[in-house]
Amino acid sequence: MEMIGRISRGTKMDQVYIPKTRQGLNPGDYVVITPLDKRINQKIKEKPYFYNVKNIEPIKMIIIDNIFSIIEKKIKDYENIIITGSFLETGSDFKDVDILIIEKGKIDKNEIEKELEKYLGIKSDVIPLDNKTLISGLNSDPLYQMMLSKCISKKRFLYKIKNKINYKLLDLHLLKSKNLLDGFSLMKGREKYYSIRNLISIKLFLEKNKLSNEIVDKEIENAFKISIIDIKENMIDYPKFIKTYKKLYNILFKKIMDGIKNKTKASLSSISSHCFILFSNSFIFFFSAIS
């Protein structure tokens, strides 16, 4: 294990700072400090950037480093590689690794997923996006905001989010949460959790609140008076829970439908005004021509 650090001036002793999230180099270990300019052909390894990831297991960091390495061999020109989703949560309760590749050109998603499974033995869900699509998604889609609220990226990124409500898109997302109403008894605890989280994310997005896993989980516990652990363990009091869920679902559905109707009326009004102006201009031209 080798890391690149910079010597910082201290009051009594100078020091070298290294990130807490690392493989090896534990507190109390003896290390050798060598000037970098004396290392011949030393390739400086860039450290990944952590966004709201406080703790992650060393084995997962090894996997992430390998993911970056494999993808870089397959794609020479890219904007960024971002790891997100349940893989970053504590423990091994995840199905696959969610990977956003911010592309500059077209990439073969299936080929990269096969390559990662072949060399790492894990399944992945590769989502290729260009920068414009990502920014548009962050502004109008709560799922994008949730994805990037907690992630590890190959390169630094900074996005300014300006919420633009797309009611038709939110209507499609809300449909995913209807599954819980239709098939409550057939769903597993984690499936119920994701349906509830989707519902609450839409609610907070419409209220123009900031989105993150922690914020959404806290809102879930406040709204339904139940812990996230109990939901995931499928320990839900059905009559009490479903009453609150239906009420919230219906409120959001009405708000979204009203938004779609108002947007449609505004569009029709704009078209009518535009047609009136065209008609007026045509009439003036016709009147002038016959005068």
Mean pLDDT of the region 251-257:
96
In a shared domain, residues 184 and 146:
no
Out of 53-57, 88-92, 257-261, the most confident range is: 257-261
Partners of 100 in the β-ladder: 82, 127
In a shared domain, residues 192 and 240:
yes
* pLDDT at residue number 128: 92
Give the tens place of pLDDT for each residue, 144-180: 999 999 999 999 888 878 888 999 999 999 999 999 9
State which of 153, 176, 194 marks the end of a domain.
Answer: 153
Q: What is the DSSP letter of 278?
A: H
* Residue 21, domain member (yes or no): no
Token pair, residue 40, equals 């011949």
Q: How far apart are CA 121 and CA 66, in angstroms?
A: 12
Note if the pTM is more than 0.85. Answer: no
Stretch among 97-111, 210-224, 236-250, 267-281 having the lowest mean pLDDT: 267-281
Ranges assigned E (strand) in the chain:
7-8, 15-16, 49-51, 78-84, 97-103, 124-130, 151-153
CA distances from residue 285 to 176, 271, 276, 277 in whole angstroms, order as listed: 54, 21, 14, 12
Report how many domains make up the chain: 2
Closest CA to 68 of 53, 87, 82: 82
* pLDDT at residue number 288: 47
State which of 153, 175, 194 marks the end of a domain.
Answer: 153
Token pair, residue 57, equals 């297991």
* Residue 98, domain member (yes or no): yes
Closest CA to 103 of 83, 125, 129: 129
Q: What is the DSSP letter of 99?
A: E
